[in-house]
Amino acid sequence: MSDDEPDHELLELLRQHMQGKLTLNQEPETGVLEGAEWVYDNSIDVALDMRSCKNAAAAIYAQMKEKQYSPATWSSHELHPDRWELGDEETVAFIFTMDLLNFSFWSEKKEEDRFAVEYGGKRWTGYWSLVAALRRALDEGIPITDPHFWQSEDECTLDVLKNVFRCSTNEQMPLLEERLACLREAGKVLYEKYHCSPIKLIDAADGSAAALVNLLAKDFDCFRDEHPFEGRRKPIRFLKRAQILVADLWACFEGEDYGEFRDIDKITMFADYRIPQILNNMGCLFYSPPLEAAIRAKKDIPQGGSWEMQLRACSIWCVELLRKEIVRQHPDTQINAILMDFFLYDTIKEMEDQGKEVAPHHRTRSIWY
Ligand SMILES: Nc1nc2c(c(CN[C@H]3C=C[C@H](O)[C@@H]3O)cn2[C@@H]2O[C@H](COP(=O)(O)O)[C@@H](O)[C@H]2O)c(=O)[nH]1
């Protein structure tokens, strides 16, 4: 083709693009933010206070800077492995197992009677009791992070899991049967689709955080945290444990190797029962009187109900608005929704440890968070 001849192929591509017909290899999206905004726009029992959000954004930024929050903060927690301690493969297996079971630790018992795990000379409750129990099992030679073990109905039994989660009080780890079902399903899916290896699953996402979240939601029932909401055609996607799994990999590996994701900033806050609590405490999130009364009375808030969906979605949207405000005030910041979430979770836990008076978190018993 001589220089003065038009490149018809390029012109055709351009024409298709101008007509919106050209779909370049578009990066995947999880749809979590879109769903959260939709529910926020249609919420009547949960709302945001924009003045408090503006003040909170400045306070969160200042405290995160002061505490130097970064991906490395994750491994600084005593029970979290850093990537060198267990080696890459076992670290990935540990994080996958942890976030497969990372749900519903709250208890109505008094502090001394609630489920707790003794490990490393300390008493661990809540999320940390899970991490401590997994470490203790590995120390005792129980292959609790091995998908082959999870599949075995002879080896990985409810009694074995009761032993893994044994504790010194008379309260059992909540939803133990459901946790066993998660392990069993994950073992089966990993065997059928990923050569029994979480690393093969990560490789299949080809460096995209959104793709990995979508793969987890597509292939594993127990990660498919999406639910219908009043009149909306598509389910609302929270994908909390799928997202926190990607976030924990990113943080533990500090954005390298099995933690390297080019679109990590697409991960949102993780819709659990702690972040709504601290957002409410900060005045950012507030409730209709009946919902406020139900939460303060520690009433059961049914999973999938309108109240619970509004709580989770509006919390995601609130953190997104806080993040945008922080970026507006500090355009060069590395702070993303993951680090904000980690900070908010750690903060509410510190406030509780210090005995600070905070309103209760909402009570929903579910495998999703
Ligand atoms: N949104 C959000 N939810 C989180 C975490 C974590 C722990 N992440 C660690 C990793 C890095 C951070 O720095 C943390 O040290 C647990 N959870 C959820 O909370 C609940 C447990 O509460 P409690 O029973 O009080 O321990 C339960 O639903 C659990 O899934 C988080 O980070 N964000």
* Ligand 1 center from residue 245 Cα (angstroms): 11
Protein residue whose Cα sits closest to atom 24 of ligand 1: 126
Question: How confident is the prediction for the chain on average, in pLDDT?
Answer: 95
Answer yes or no: is the C-beta of 275 below 6 A from any ligand 1 atom: yes
Distance CA 318, CA 315 (A): 5
Amino acid at residue number 32:
V
Pocket test for ligand 1, best of 272, 285, 352 (most atoms within 8 A of CB): 272
For the Cβ of 369 lying below 6 angstroms from any atom of ligand 1, the answer is: yes
Look up residue 335 and give its DSSP letter.
Answer: -
Residue owning the nearest CA to atom 32 of ligand 1: 342
What tens digit of pLDDT does each residue of 3-56 get?
677 777 777 777 777 777 665 667 999 999 999 999 999 999 999 999 999 999
Token pair 């510190």 in the structure block, residue: 350
Q: How far is the CA of 357 from the centre of ligand 1 (A)?
A: 19
pLDDT at 1: 52
pLDDT in the model for residue 23: 58
Nearest CA to ligand 1 atom 15: 346
* DSSP state string for 284-311: SEEE-HHHHHHHHTT-B--TTSHHHHHH
Q: What is the pLDDT of residues 133-149, one digit of tens each?
A: 999 999 999 999 999 99
87 C-alpha to ligand 1 centroid (Å): 24
* pLDDT at residue 156 is higher than 90: yes
Residue 205, token pair as written in the block: 């996402």
Average pLDDT over residues 348-364: 96
Q: What is the pLDDT of residue 101?
A: 98
Q: pLDDT tens digits for 299-318?
A: 999 999 999 999 999 999 99
According to DSSP, residue 119 is labeled E
Distance 212 CA to ligand 1 centre (A): 20
User: Where in the sequence numbering do the catalytic residues fall?
Assistant: 272
Q: With contact defined as beta carbons under 8 Å apart, do 46 and 285 qualify?
A: yes
CA angle 153, 134, 368 (to 5 degrees): 75
pLDDT value, residue 92 = 98
> Helix axis angle, 289-296 relative to 306-329, nearest 10°?
100
Is the distance from the beta carbon of residue 274 to the nearest atom of ligand 1 less than 6 Å?
yes
- This complex has an ipTM of 0.98
In this structure, are residues 295 and 362 in contact, taking their beta carbons and an 8 Å threshold?
Answer: yes
Please report which helix (H) or strand (E) contains residue 47, including its range.
strand 46-48
Rounded mean pLDDT, 240-268: 98
CA proximity to 369, closest of 249, 225, 235 = 225
What is the identity of the amino acid at 207? G
DSSP state of 259: G
What does the pLDDT average to over 322-340? 98
Rounded to an integer, what distance in angstroms lies between the CA atom of residue 77 and that of residue 60?
20
Residue 147 half-sphere exposure, CB side, CA atoms within 13 Å? Answer: 24
Q: What is the mean pLDDT of residues 273-288?
A: 98
Token representation of residue 202: 């990560």
63 closest CA partner among 340, 357, 353, 359: 340
Separation of 320 CA from ligand 1 center, angstroms? 18
The residue whose C-alpha atom lies closest to atom 18 belonging to ligand 1 is 272
For residues 162-190, average pLDDT: 96
Q: What residue type is 73 in one-letter code? A: T
Q: Please give the structure tokens belonging to residue 138.
A: 């590995």
Output the pTM of the full model.
0.93
Q: State the pLDDT at residue 3.
A: 64
State the Cα–Cα distance between residues 279 and 222, nearest whole angstrom: 27
**Residue whose CA is at the smallest distance from ligand 1 atom 14:** 342
270 lines ligand 1 (CB under 6 A): yes
State if residue 74 touches ligand 1 by the CB under 6 angstroms criterion: yes
By CB atoms closer than 10 A (0-12, 13-18, 19+), residue 286 is middle
Is the distance from CB of 368 to CB of 221 less than 8 angstroms? no
- pLDDT given at position 8: 78
Structure tokens given for 327: 């970026």
Is the pLDDT at 363 greater than 80? The verdict is yes
